[in-house]
Amino acid sequence: MGCLTSSQKEEDISIALQSSKKLKIVIVGLEGSGKTSILQYLKNGKFTESQPTIGLNVETIQFKARHYLIFDVGGKVRTLWSHYYENLDGLVFVIDTTDSERIEIVKNELKKLGSEIKQKCCQYI
């Protein structure tokens, strides 16, 4: 029979509560880069044809006993991306590597994203 101290019980409860918390993930990228396709793959396990996102898609997904609240923010509403950066647990920037004509736009958006992320929530790599 085991014995737990009060602080051990509190730590165990804290760990249990953290694991049940939905982690907030935001997916951004230029329009047509594949954000919604990735979200649908995570949700359904397969890629499906999708329409351009107007505004926002939000899905809750369970993966390996964790729940994720995923925000797929449309590429045409880049000015609104930063509104979703607060209290993030993760951010995914999707790049269509076959679209070489827009690589400079991608670079500029990544620079903006970096400074906004530092101000709003977290470090990034």
Q: Is 97 annotated as a binding residue?
A: no
Q: What is the dihedral of CA 65, 69, 73, 78, to 10 degrees?
A: -110
Q: Is 34 annotated as a binding residue?
A: yes
Nearest-angstrom CA–CA distance, 110 and 97:
14
Q: Is 118 annotated as a binding residue?
A: no
Q: Is 53 annotated as a binding residue?
A: yes
Q: Is 74 annotated as a binding residue?
A: no
Q: Is 43 annotated as a binding residue?
A: no
Q: Is 11 annotated as a binding residue?
A: no
Q: Which residue has the tokens 């329409």?
A: 51
Is 48 within 8 Å of 37 (Cβ atoms)?
yes
Q: Is 64 annotated as a binding residue?
A: no
Name the binding residues for Mg(2+). 36, 53
Name the binding residues. 29-36, 53, 75
Name the binding residues for GTP. 29-36, 75
